[in-house]
């Protein structure tokens, strides 16, 4: 069930009033929102509802066991078992075919035939996201950072449909306390919710879909048929497409949750205005960045073991983060590029005699430009189906200048400019717009929203493509 569809609109128009009607009675609201979330998830494939139910039961059982046991050795075994179950399910559905194919290729390289066949396993939508949220719950209980809650509250937390299929990754301490008491509809920031949903719709339906249909899919699908200029613009276009697509989804998710009375953490903060790769990861998919930091980088040792171990931990975190995005060596390469850049930046800052120079406009602009080029180069591997495709694209970038470039249109360049330029708008601008919108009479607000929907529908292509991050 996609957010920007009539099916979801009908679903949400039924869920929203019923949710508020049942909200004062938690014992009724929780079963209702769990059922609604499972109906939402069943819109993709009802069979995977059993997988979601397993994840809820598995993590809750181990969280309670971890909380009740005092013997540290037993608690470590329980934690290891909980993580094995979570990661085992994720590995089977997401990585089985990848590991089998990689193993077969490795043995074939040395002339050994291994009779292991791939299974063409269908990847359940959102499995990476709710698995990471389940792991966060169990680990927080193990660390005594969070106490387990009742089964109903945890089930509502893990299955809550606004974040279920593509995030943001909401930590237990960020959502479960909100489930403890009924939300008050008088304090719902509807102006912010409608602004987030409206901007999310525009970025997804208009910007992301337009760029995908008019240049990205064609360039990445057959780079040898396009000029160097088209390839260059196509790379920039994909950078904007994936941002607009994922930013648009999470904005809608945050806005929808807000209308239901719940606040999600921010997931993007103008990442293409970053002045370094380190800064980029403080702004891009921030809920994943914090998850990788707290549940992977720090447990690996963080920066506590000296420079070499710190570089190792950074690289391992980004390599695993790349593999989390997709079962393919191109995703590992994407993680390796970012990991190498993070290590290089850390080495540069920590070298003897280093003094941070003051930021001038020119220096800031140069750093932003260089960071954006590194990010865009890494996206080549992220988007390509194989290394051969990625190398073909890179080669074409340098060997076909001067050829006709019919895909480089004013519309494509405008969409790229809007996607990148929107990240340089003043931070106060959305607040000003929301404040002015909230002061409008209700009929005027309805008229503005209707006009925005009509414009988005008119500017968007026919149909709505699936969100990119649904496959992760």
Tens of pLDDT, residues 213-236: 999 999 999 999 999 999 999 999
Q: Which two tokens stand for residue 116?
A: 């292991």
Q: Which two tokens stand for residue 356?
A: 């941070």
CB 346 within 8 A of CB 302: no
Q: Determine the Cα–Cα distance for residues 243 and 285; give it in Å rounded to an integer.
A: 10
CB 392 within 8 A of CB 223: yes
H-helix or E-strand spanning residue 282? none
Prediction pTM value: 0.91
Q: Determine the Cα–Cα distance for residues 361 and 363; give it in Å rounded to an integer.
A: 6
The candidate with the shortest Cα–Cα distance to 466, out of 44, 69, 106, is 44
What's the pLDDT band for 304 if we cut at 50, 70, 90? Answer: confident
Q: How far is CA 434 from the centre of its chain?
A: 25
3-state SS, residue 336? helix
Mean pLDDT score of the chain: 90
Out of 163, 226, 285, 325, pick the active-site residue. 325
Q: Determine the Cα–Cα distance for residues 108 and 115; give it in Å rounded to an integer.
A: 11
Q: How far is CA 396 from the centre of its chain?
A: 30
- Provide CB contacts within 8 A for 293, sequence distance 6+: 317
CB 282 within 8 A of CB 289: yes
Task: Establish whether 226 is a catalytic residue.
Answer: no
Q: What's the mean pLDDT in 165-174? A: 90
The count of other CB atoms within 10 Å of the CB of residue 194 is 20
What's the pLDDT band for 150 if we cut at 50, 70, 90? Answer: very high
Q: Which two tokens stand for residue 330?
A: 């191109």
Per the listing, tokens 């102006």 go with 191
The candidate with the shortest Cα–Cα distance to 234, out of 400, 472, 388, is 400
pLDDT tens digits for range 87-96:
999 998 888 8
Residue 165's alpha-carbon distances to 3, 54, 314, in angstroms, are 11, 16, 27
């Amino acid at each position: 069930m996609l957010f920007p569809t009539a099916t979801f609109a009908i679903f949400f128009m039924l869920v929203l009033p019923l949710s508020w009607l049942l909200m004062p009675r938690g014992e009724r609201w929780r079963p209702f929102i769990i059922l609604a979330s499972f109906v939402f998830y069943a819109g993709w494939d009802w069979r995977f509802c059993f997988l979601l139910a397993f994840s809820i039961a598995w993590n809750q059982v181990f969280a309670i066991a971890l909380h009740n046991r005092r013997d540290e050795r037993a608690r470590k075994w329980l934690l290891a078992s909980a993580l094995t179950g979570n990661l085992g399910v994720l590995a089977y559905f997401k990585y089985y075919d990848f590991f089998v194919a990689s193993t077969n290729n490795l043995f074939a390289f040395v002339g050994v035939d291994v009779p292991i066949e791939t299974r063409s396993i269908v990847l359940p939508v959102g499995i990476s996201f709710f698995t990471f949220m389940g792991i966060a719950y169990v680990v927080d209980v193990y660390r005594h950072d969070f106490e387990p809650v009742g089964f109903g509250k945890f089930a509502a937390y893990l299955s809550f449909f606004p974040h279920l299929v593509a995030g943001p990754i909401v930590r237990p301490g960020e959502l479960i306390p909100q489930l403890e008491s009924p939300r008050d509809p008088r304090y719902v920031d509807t102006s912010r919710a409608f602004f987030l949903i409206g901007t999310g719709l525009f970025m997804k339906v208009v910007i992301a879909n337009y760029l995908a249909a008019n240049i990205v899919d064609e360039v990445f699908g057959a780079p040898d048929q396009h000029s160097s200029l088209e390839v260059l613009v196509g790379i920039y276009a994909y950078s904007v497409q994936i941002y607009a697509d994922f930013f648009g989804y999470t904005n809608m998710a945050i806005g929808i949750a807000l209308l239901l009375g719940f606040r999600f953490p921010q997931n993007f903060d103008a990442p293409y205005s970053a002045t370094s790769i380190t800064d980029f990861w403080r702004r891009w998919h921030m809920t994943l960045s914090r998850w990788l930091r707290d549940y992977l980088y720090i447990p690996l040792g963080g920066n506590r073991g000296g420079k070499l171990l710190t570089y190792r931990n950074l690289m391992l975190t980004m390599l695993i983060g790349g593999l989390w995005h997709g079962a393919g060596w191109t995703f590992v390469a994407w993680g390796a590029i970012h990991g190498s850049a993070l290590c290089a930046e850390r080495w540069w800052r920590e070298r003897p005699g280093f003094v941070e120079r003051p930021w001038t406009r020119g220096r800031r602009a140069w750093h932003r430009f260089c960071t954006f080029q590194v990010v865009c180069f890494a996206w080549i591997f992220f988007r390509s189906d194989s290394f051969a495709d990625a190398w073909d694209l890179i080669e074409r970038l340098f060997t076909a200048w001067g050829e006709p470039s019919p895909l480089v249109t004013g519309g494509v360049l405008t969409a790229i400019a809007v996607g990148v330029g929107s990240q340089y708008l003043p931070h106060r601008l959305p607040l000003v717009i929301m404040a002015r919108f909230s002061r409008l009479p209700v009929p005027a607000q309805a008229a503005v929203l209707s006009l925005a929907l009509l414009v988005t529908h008119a500017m968007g292509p026919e149909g709505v493509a699936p969100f990119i991050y649904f496959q992760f």
